[in-house]
């Protein structure tokens, strides 16, 4: 499983099987990934038909408000900018 320090909220990007990128927020990333993968009820309709999914990026935020603000910024990015964000994240 993914080990995330004790911050309350996470903004994350999933790379879908069709090479699209899904952005979301959660306060429990492991549980949310299980939902997206169909292991638990509640995953996004968008990801259900786009398996397999890969967690490509995540960043921690102190609260839901900050996570929502960052999610909006990322969702407005071009696909190229999102890929660059993912590549920078995966270098570390």
pLDDT tens-place string over residues 8-52:
999 999 999 999 999 999 999 999 999 999 999 988 889 988 999
Of 1 and 61, the one with more pLDDT? 61
Residue 7 has what pLDDT? Answer: 65
SS (H, E, C) 13-79: EEECCCCCEEEEEECCHHHHHHHHCCCCCCCCHHHHCCCCCEEEEEEEECCHHHHHHHHHHHHHCCH
- pLDDT band of residue 90 (cuts 50, 70, 90) is confident
Domain 9-80, CATH 3.10.180.10 — does that match?
no
Residue 1 has what pLDDT? Answer: 54
Mean pLDDT of the chain: 92
Residue 37 has what pLDDT? Answer: 92
Q: Are the CB atoms for 10 and 4 separated by under 8 Å? A: yes
Per-domain residue ranges of the chain: 9-80
């Amino acid at each position: 499983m993914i080990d995330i320090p004790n911050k309350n909220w996470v903004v994350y990007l999933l790379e879908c099987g069709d090479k699209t990128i899904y952005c979301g927020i959660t306060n429990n990333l492991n549980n949310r990934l299980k939902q997206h993968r169909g292991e638990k009820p509640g995953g996004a309709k968008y990801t259900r038909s786009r398996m397999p999914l890969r967690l490509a990026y995540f960043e921690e935020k102190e609260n839901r408000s900050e996570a929502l603000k960052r999610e909006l910024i990322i969702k407005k990015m071009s696909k190229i900018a999102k890929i660059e964000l993912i590549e920078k994240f995966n270098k570390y």
